[in-house]
Amino acid sequence: MKTYLKLILLFSITSPAFAQSEFKTKQLSFERVKTAYTEKWTNLQKELTQAGIKGVFKLYLAAYKSEGKLELWLQSGKEKTYKLFKTYNFCAHSGMLGPKIKEGDLQTPEGFYSINVFNPESKFHLSLGVDYPNEIDTQRSGQEKPGGDIYIHGNCVTVGCIPLTDEKIKEVYVLAVEAKNAGQLQIPVHVFPFKMTQQNLNKYLVQFPAQKAFWKNLQPGYAYFERRNVPPNIVMQKDKYLFK
């Protein structure tokens, strides 16, 4: 019997569900996260119910540089597709349209990423790290250092990140913690130069013709989600994204 109980305890400690539950508990040990939950979670739960999001959910983030918008899409437990839950305005801008090339260029990256850091003690209030650079970014940078430390954060300043007000980052952070705590291993963050309709692409290529090949490679990823309301599976092959 003792051996059996030990096996149950070992399984519960090492299982993904236990690890995810521990993640939220650890996050709530930080004062800013606890405050964010106190101030935002009750109202967010009401909004989730009103939006038809029941129980646990997955999170997908889409950012549009020209429009200065960050969209939060959620997929509730049994649903096959994501639905738009909230849209936040960037509260500051840095650089211009086009991808980030090197450290210090003030550019916000463009491409397909995911959240890789939850920082509850950020100097920008709360922050969610974006896993830039990816393989394509590194290849594009060539001999230059591609840079890093790209975050979605508060404090309304930026040198290439995606900045929100402190009040808005509290909501985004809480929703991201909930998604990860429910078992979502990767939270996608897709950063586009603009809403990548053919009309917009033609419009912006007049001003930024050098980005034609790169943006035309991003466009199918944008179109995939627009058609299906599900993020594509993404493969990086040499200097191109492939979507499945």
Nearest to 150 by CA among 119, 177, 120: 119
Question: For residue 77, what pLDDT is reported?
Answer: 83
Question: For residue 12, what pLDDT is reported?
Answer: 32
Beta strands 150-153 and 162-163, pairing class? parallel
Question: For residue 20, what pLDDT is reported?
Answer: 57
Q: Which residue has the tokens 């393989």?
A: 135
Question: Which residues carry out catalysis?
Answer: 153, 161
pLDDT tens-place values along the chain, 244 residues long: 333 333 323 333 334 444 557 899 999 999 999 999 999 999 999 999 999 998 999 999 999 999 999 999 999 988 999 999 999 999 999 999 999 999 999 999 999 999 999 999 999 999 999 999 999 999 999 999 999 999 999 999 999 999 999 999 999 999 999 999 999 999 999 999 999 999 999 999 999 999 999 999 999 999 999 999 999 999 999 889 999 9
221-234: burial string, b at 16+ Cβ within 10 Å, e else: bbebbeeebebbeb
For 64-96, write each residue's pLDDT tens digit: 999 999 999 999 988 999 999 999 999 999 999
Quote the Cα angle for 213-240-185, to 5°: 130
Right CATH for 22-243 from 3.40.50.300, 3.50.50.60, 3.60.150.10, 2.40.440.10? 2.40.440.10
For 182-220, write each residue's pLDDT tens digit: 999 999 999 999 999 999 999 999 999 999 999 999 999
Beta strands 83-89 and 150-153, pairing class? unpaired
- The letter for the amino acid at 196 is M
Q: pTM above the 0.95 mark?
A: no
Question: For residue 136, what pLDDT is reported?
Answer: 96
Residues 6+ apart with CB under 8 A from 106: 94, 95, 159, 160
Cβ atoms 166, 137 nearer than 8 A: no
Residue 117 bridge partners (DSSP): 129
Q: At what angle do helices 31-50 and 166-181 cross, to 10 degrees?
A: 80
